[in-house]
């Protein structure tokens, strides 16, 4: 993998070589969002990892579920949860919109090369933590039996590595080989 433009985390040279020797038919998981950086990470995966027979899995968590309103009374066991009053529930509309945006961003990369892909969207509460987003992504990675996980670093300040909180969390907790593509390393 000379010229590798990604920071491979928790991989030795032997692990990388073993990955490349695996037969085609692998599941490559790209943890995505609707950004140019994520598209660049997917493009990097196509250029450097993808082989005929592999499947690209695009995984995205849509923060669209309104948290319920809770009413607590003084007596134990007398708390009630309600849907937020007023307004229509737009969860499905938001999931459909996320699907359209992701397909618009990623299909131009995948379709010209006839790359098989699957889009996996997970609906979660609007106020969920980044740790919860990461838990859902990790669960998806295990369900897909990912050969490798690819994602973009967003060069966000406030994290020790500058990768962004999701990339940092996954790099510490993902048990699969992982490549984090930095935007400046892929012509952005």
Q: Give the C-alpha separation, 69 to 82, whole Å.
A: 5
Report percent pLDDT > 90 for the chain: 51
| Average pLDDT across the chain, whole number | 81
74 band by pLDDT with thresholds 50, 70 and 90:
low
Give the model's pLDDT for residue 6.
Answer: 44
Among 6-10, 18-22, 114-118, 176-180, the range scoring the smallest mean pLDDT is 6-10
* pLDDT band, very low/low/confident/very high, at 90 (cuts 50, 70, 90): confident
**What is residue 85's three-state secondary structure?**
coil
pLDDT of 145 above 90 = yes
Between CA 165 and CA 156 the distance in angstroms is 8
Which superfamily does 13-186 belong to? HUPs (3.40.50.620)
Q: How far is CA 144 from the centre of its chain?
A: 13
Largest CA distance in the chain: 66
Q: Dihedral of CA 103/106/112/115: which sign?
A: negative
The mean pLDDT of 102-115, rounded to a whole number, is 94
């Amino acid at each position: 993998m000379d010229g590798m433009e990604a920071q491979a985390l928790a991989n030795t040279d032997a692990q990388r070589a073993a990955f490349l020797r695996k037969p085609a038919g692998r599941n490559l998981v790209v943890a995505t969002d609707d950004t140019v950086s994520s598209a660049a990470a997917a493009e990097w995966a196509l250029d450097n990892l993808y082989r005929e027979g592999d499947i690209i899995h695009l995984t995205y968590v849509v923060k669209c579920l309104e948290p319920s309103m809770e009413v607590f009374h003084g007596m134990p066991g007398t708390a009630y949860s309600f849907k937020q009053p007023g307004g229509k529930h737009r969860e499905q509309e938001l999931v459909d919109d996320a699907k359209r945006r992701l397909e618009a961003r990623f299909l131009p990369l995948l379709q010209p090369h006839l790359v098989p892909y699957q889009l996996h969207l997970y609906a979660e509460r609007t106020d969920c933590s980044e740790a919860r987003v990461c838990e859902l992504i990790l669960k998806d990675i295990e369900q897909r039996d990912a050969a490798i996980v690819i994602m973009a670093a967003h060069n966000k300040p406030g994290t020790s590595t500058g990768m962004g909180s999701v990339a940092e969390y996954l790099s510490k907790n993902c048990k699969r080989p992982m490549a984090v593509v930095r935007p400046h390393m892929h012509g952005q």
